[in-house]
Structure formats: structure tokens, C-alpha cells
Structure 1
Amino acid sequence: MAPNDPSFDEIISKIQSCSDTTAVTKTLAPFLNNLSEQVFVARSHGQTDPIDALSPALHSFAYLYFLVYRCKASHGFHPSLLEKVWAFVTSCDGEQVRLASDKALSFAEALVKMATESSQPIIAIRPLAVFIKRIQATPGQLTMIHPLLAKTCLLAQSFKDIIPILDNDISDVNPSLTHIDYKDFLLYHYYGGMIYAYLKKFERAVEFFKLAVSAPAEVASAIQIEAYKKYVLTSLLHYGRVLALPKYTANAVHKCIKLHCIQYTEFAAAYEKRPNSVIKSEFERIKPVFQRDKNLGLVKQCMEALHRRNIQELTRTYLTLSIEDITSTIGLGSEPDGARRVEGIINRMIESGAIFATISHEHTGGMVSFLDDPNQHNNTITMDMINERIQKATAITSNLAAMDQTISTMPSYISKVC
């Protein structure tokens, strides 16, 4: 401890005397900011740990200070420190923590750093996910920790804990409360889109990439350009075409897209026209660009999706076709293992419910019989799905009405309108 620092007893007494928000803001925050870092990592002469005298629920603001500096000073995880981290993230007072949002971000970054140095980034994921839920004022509020959690999940290839967070659409972006910035919004939706794409939830991936691309901008961000490239490919994967961007997308973004995403728009144009020979030619021509951008995996999935769409179109015309005929029709006839690939695609489509068909090998090469959809959509599963969609739409409408009411009563909005 530094010579000018008060004793541990004085520090703990000061912390325990500041329980309400006003005292924390006006008294405790300046007091803690004037202490040296050694205070938060040291133990008293009696070897008792001063942090043990604090409650992570009642003294969350000060407890956070101790954890920040201890996590920064630690090299790798220690069971005793991890125990204190877990006690804090599961019981902390979100309102107190939001008063020290810069320290909350430092704590999250130090947690990830410790986990990464231990070559176990997955260890940081669960605490961060729980921490986000504790400090959010509403489930749809974006915090400065959202993009860090999403990035860590991508590094660890572990997504179970972040999916419930991603599934809650962001409806509350309040920089004055959470100290988030524009880059946080872009990165969260960019990383979130990558996670959904990895999990093959392409509809959600398209939505997340679109939110990043269409965010208000006077100058286009490099994140938006990269998001647009993935937006194109996930749109092709899920819809077979590139959906038009919202009308409110900034002109600066449109200009940068035309300049930096030419190859992607050319590939999409060829893909939507669907002549197999043209698409293959465009793919081979642009392949080095896809490899450079690390999007080759998505492009290959687009090619596979094209074969599935072509097979689906055949079901509308034919009742029975040989695998050899299907292989030739969808453009894989010249490949040595084309028939085997096609049979594998058809089997996967049957298993996923994309088509209804049976494969018979009584004839040489195999015959495929296409069937009608047996689902009449009059069961409880369909009704549950409809009710879920209605409830979600109702919740979104309520949130929008509340946001509209809040904005319309803001003095800055009223003065601008008047």
C-alpha cells in the first residue's frame, strides 16, 4: 500500500457506510479513485482478505474495484479468485455496477485476458453471460460487454451461453446509462451474425449483419463493409437472393459497398440467375478474394444450397427421377462422384424436412420418388409456433410504443421539432 493510503479498517468502514446511490456517486467513487492500486490487491497484516468483509450484493461498486485490479494482476485463474468472481457476477447490484461502467468493462476484459492466458477462453464465457444479465436494466439493453462476450464465444467456439442473449433483440441503446459507443453496436451485431452463421441459423445471421450495415453513419466503417460481405452470402444461403438493404442505410455505406464489394455483388448477380456454368465460373474467378476475406466456407455452402434449391424445383415438376438424371440436371454430371454427392444431398434434405421423398435402389443407380407434404399444419405444434410469433410481435410493438413515448417527451426532441 502507498504511504498516503488509509488503513484497511478505514477503507472497509468507508465502503460500508456508503449504501445508497447518492453516497456511492458523490462520496465513495472519489474515495476509491484516490486509492492506489496496491490497496485492492494487498492483504492486511493479519493475512485476512479485506474483500471478505464486503458483500458482493450490498457493496457491488467497491467489490468491483477489488476484482478489477486482482484480475489484472493475476496470471491465469486461481480457484479462490474464480470463486469471488462467480459470487460477484451472480449477486451484484446492477444499478451500482452501472455507476462504474468503465470498471465493469475493465473487469470483463481482465477476465477474458486471464482465461486466454490460461488457454481456456471458455472459462470466461459463463461469468460474462451472467454478468450481462445482472447489469442490464432491460433484457433488450445493449451493454459494453456484449461485443466482448460474442468475440470470446467465437474464439472458444462455445455458443450455448450467448444464444439466449443474442435471441433477445436489442431495443435499448442508451450510451448515457451504459457508456456504449457506436463501435460496440457494430461489433456486437457483426460477431452475433458470425455466431448465427456458424450455427447455420442463417435467417438470424442475415438480420444481424443487416443491423450492422444499416446503422447510421456519416463515414462507412470497415466493420460495416465486412458485415455486408457476409450479409450477401448469408442472404444467398437462406433466401437464394440478396435482400435489399433498408432505405435508411447511409449513402456513405452504399458508396463504399460499390467500391469495396464488387466481387460479392457480381457473384450474387450470377447466383440469382442460376445457370450452373456461370456460377461456377464466377466462383473460380473470385475464389482468391473469398479466401482472403475468410469467407470461402460460406461461399461453398452457397454452392451446396444452390444444388438443394435446384432439387426442390424438380419436385414441382416430376414425381419420379433417377439419381443420374438429377445429377445431370443440377450440373454435377461431369464430376466423378456427382451421383454419390447428389444422393447425400437428397438424404439430408429428406432428414431435415426440406423435401418429402423416398430413394429406391431396385433400379441401377437409384430412383427418387417425390411425395406431397404429409403435414396438414392443423396440429398443436403449428398453433404453438403461431402463438409464439404473435407474442413476440406484441412484445416488440409494446417496446416500440414505450420508446416512442420516451423520445417524444425528451426536451432535446421537443426543441428540435418546434
Structure 2
Amino acid sequence: MGSLENLVTQIQGLSGSIEDIAHLHNILRLADESLHSESSALSAVLDQVDPAKHSLGYLYILGMICIGQKRFRKALELLHNVVTAPMNVINAIAVEAYKKYILVSLIHYGQFSTSLPKYASSAAQRNLKNFCQPYIELATTYSSGKIAELEAYVLTNREKFDNDKNLGLVKQVVSSMYKHNIQRLTQTYLTLSLQDIANTVQLGSPKEAEMHVLQMIQDGEIFATINQKDGMVRFLEDPEQYKTCQMIEHIDSSIQRIMTLSRKLNAMDEQMSFDPLYLTKVGRERQRFDFDDFDTVPQKFPI
């Protein structure tokens, strides 16, 4: 397979069977090199994805690609669409998507809520968590903030995560706890020693703390300087001035996406306003209330 178009052709219309999951993983492995060389083309495809028109397999595989590129926010959006898609029974792709949704949420946000939105199917609401219990427990352990307990839990369930082909993501979850704990320190302190960071974040030494801080500075996750002489870290404000060409293009792209979403919402609103079933239901709801019973002017109460 030599192009993004070939990948899209292969994954369109896949069902929710467990065999498809294995096939999807194999497709991604074979496509990895060509996908990285076509990242700009992939971005265009992602912006055009419509959950109402694309198969669960399509959304799932794109989510996996985004995970591989560390585009975690977009990956969460795609996996969320898989998990909340209409379904009468739980399928294997939705289960695998939910597992990765939990892991990516922990990596990106440092937290996870087990509550599914109300628009998720009743099948997902009732059964999805039962198929992902080790991952729910992982999220609960993560929320304690105790790295030793998290590592122990991962070690105990290593085989399960490995069989699910999620061990690499689970290891990223463990590493992310250090990152999120350091990020919390930036909200409290202006300066802190590497030794204090190591103690607070439960790292083995100031040198380990320095390595984590340097990596986070490089990735743009925190803004800080390290004084090598006295081992002190100074946390800084975000230096972004929103005046570079790259930032202007990013803002323009965001505006275009919002405008596209607005047009879709307006079209949906117009379509619903002529839907007989919707109008009938709204009419019944309105009959439950007699607006003459409500005062239009607030009552004055004696003090």
C-alpha cells in the first residue's frame, strides 16, 4: 500500500467483528511509513470526517493514526465518535475504541470520567464498561496520584494490556503521571529546586527530574528555565504573543472549522423544523404547560 487513498479504500465499510480489529491493526502497521510521509494529506482527510457517514472502522483507524502521531486531541474526538455512535449491540471496534479512549484521556488530560454522554446508545451505556474493567481500574489508580501503585497495577495486568496491543500506550500513561504532576507544580510555585520536584513527583533523583523538565520544555508543555549552578527551576508565563504567521494560520483554520460547523448546525436546525415527527413531539411537550399560569413580572416579597 503506497498512499492514503489506498488505506481509506481498505478500511471503508468494515464491520464490528473481532476479526476486523486484527485486520485494522495489520493495515495500520503496513501503512505506517507511507502515512507519516503523507501527514499533510491526512490532516485534510481528518477535517472532512463526518461520523454520520463513515464507518466505525474508518474512524477507529484514523484515531489510531492520530495516536501514533501524538495528535491526542484529534484522536480523542475520533474515538469519542466511535464510542457514542448509534448501536443496538456492543461491537468489538467500539470496545477497543473505548479502551484507547481511556488511555489517551489519561495521557492528554491526566484524568478520565467514566460517565458516557446521554446521547451514547443504551447498549454502550449498559455494557461498554464491563468489557473494559481493567482500564477503568487503571484510570481509578491513576487518579490517586501514587506512581508506585500505578506501576504495580500495570505490572500485575501487563499480560492483559499486551494481549490487547495497548501496552505501549499504558507505558505512556505511566510516564504522563510524572508530566501532569510537574504541570500542577507550575500552578503553585514560581521557583522550585530539582530535588523538591523529584520528591514531590516521586522521581528517583534530581537528575531524573531535570530530564523530565527538559523534555516538557522541549515539547512546549511547560515554560521554564533551569539554573544548572544551584539546581533551581523557574517557571515562566506562556511567551506566545499570537503574532506569528503560523499562529495566524492556526487561528484562521479554527475559524473556518467553526464556520463549517455553524453551517451544519443551521442546516440540521432547518431540517428538524420541517420534520413531522419532531414537530408532533414538540407540540405534545408544549401542551404540558399553560404559560398563563406564569407571571411575566417578578413578585415583590416583603422584607
> Do they fold alike, i.e. is TM over 0.5?
yes
Residue aligning to 1:370: 235
User: Could you state the TM-score of these two structures normalised by the residue count of structure 1?
Assistant: 0.56
Matched, 1:207 2:77: yes
- Between the two structures, name the one with larger relative contact order (CA 8 Å, sep ≥ 6): 2
Q: Does the 8 Å CA contact 2:147/2:174 hold for their aligned counterparts?
A: no
The whole-number CA distance in structure 1 between the counterparts of 2:58 and 2:5 is 18
Identify if the C-alpha distance between structure 1 residues 417 and 316 changes in structure 2 by more than 3 Å, giving closer, same or farther. closer
Distance 1:407 1:143 in 2: 29
Question: Is residue 2:153 matched to residue 1:282?
Answer: yes
1:163 maps to a residue whose letter is S
Matches within 5 A, 1:319-338: 319-333=190-204, 338=205
- Structure 1 residue matching 2:157: 3-state secondary structure: helix
Instruction: Tell whether 2:219 aligns with 1:352.
Output: yes
Gaps of 5+ in 2: 15-19, 281-303
Which residue identity is paired with 1:236? L
Q: CA separation of 1:221/1:382 partners in 2, compared to 1, >3 Å: closer, same or farther? A: same
Distance 1:400 1:129, change over 3 A: farther
**Pairing partner for 1:389 from 254, 276, 298:** 254
Mapping for residues 109-128 of structure 1, pairs under 5 Å:
121=1, 123=2, 125-126=3-4, 128=6
Q: Deviations over 1:205-231 (max 9, x none)?
A: 111111111111111101111110001
Q: Bigger radius of gyration, 1 or 2?
A: 1
1:209–1:155 Cα change, 3 Å: same
**How far does the alpha carbon of each residue in 1:26-70 deviate from its partner, in whole angstroms, 9 at most, with x for none?**
xxxxxxxxxxxxxxxxxxxxxxxxxxxxxxxxxxxxxxxxxxxxx
Partner of 1:197, secondary structure, is helix
- Give every structure 1 segment of 4 or more consecutive aligned residues whose post-TM-superposition deviation is greater than 6 Å: 129-132, 147-151
**CA distance in 1 between partners of 2:239 and 2:43 (Å):** 32
1:155 to 30, 44, 51: 30
The TM-score normalised by the length of structure 2 is 0.76
RMSD: 3.1
Separation in 2, partners of 1:268, 1:223: 20
For the structure 1 residues 257 and 191, does the alpha-carbon distance in structure 2 shift closer, same or farther, using more than 3 Å as the test? same
Task: Supply the distance in 1 between the matched residues of 2:136 and 2:7 (Cα, whole angstroms).
Answer: 37
TM-aligned CA distance change 1:300 to 1:397, over 3 Å: same
Structure 1 runs not aligned, ≥5 long: 1-120, 133-141, 174-183
Distance 1:172 1:209, change over 3 A: closer
1:195 aligns with 2:100: no
Identity %: 36
Note the 1:304-323 alignment, pairs <5 A: 304-323=175-194
Question: What do residues 146-174 of structure 1 show as CA deviations (whole Å, max 9, x unaligned)?
Answer: x999974542203224332123231662x
* Change in CA separation of 1:355 and 1:150 when aligned onto 2, cut-off 3 Å: same
SS across alignment from 1:354: coil
CA–CA distance in structure 1, aligned partners of residues 232 and 190 of structure 2: 11
Count of residues in Structure 1 that have an aligned counterpart in Structure 2: 267
> What is the distance in 1 between the residues matched to 2:155 and 2:51?
41
